[in-house]
Amino acid sequence: MTEITMIPIEYIILFAMAIVEVIRKRMPDAYSDLKPFIAFVIAITCNVANAALFGGNMLGAGKEAFIAAGVALAMFGGGSAVGKLLAPKPATPVAEPVVQKTVSHSATPEVTVDAERSQAG
């Protein structure tokens, strides 16, 4: 008989990160501080469920996921922090103030035509 082994932790972490990305896009920005914690909890929960499903040690799976999720989140958080630091900020165009110009007199001379001349011509 072949023994069924658990899914490797790398795949569990990748699966958890995919779930977090879906949740993150639908989550309001007010909860942005909770996003790393949610990712951490989802990764641990997925690996413990992996152990429960395949008959592994659930406490050991939780410990392994705790370490792996912490490393993955630290690498992701550090990478995004460095990316924000090194990426040039987009230049915002400066709006020119709107000045309304009023013309008090016309720069072109007005041409007047006598009514008698136009009828005689």
Retrieve residue 99's tokens. 């000045």
**Model's pTM, two decimal places?**
0.58
φ/ψ (deg, to 5) at 109: -70, 145
SS3 72: helix
Averaged pLDDT, 33-39: 79
pLDDT for position 32: 73
Averaged pLDDT, 7-13: 88
How many Å separate Cα 118 from the centre of its chain?
73
Helix ranges, the chain (H) = 9-26, 35-54, 58-86, 115-120
pLDDT for position 83: 63
Contact between residue 65 and residue 44 where contact means Cβ atoms under 8 Å apart: yes
Residue whose structure tokens are 């001379």: 109
Indicate whether 116 pLDDT > 60: no
pLDDT for position 48: 92
57-109 residue pLDDT tens: 889 988 998 888 888 777 776 666 666 666 666 666 666 777 776 656 656 65
Percent of the chain predicted with pLDDT > 70: 62
pLDDT for position 45: 92
pLDDT for position 78: 62
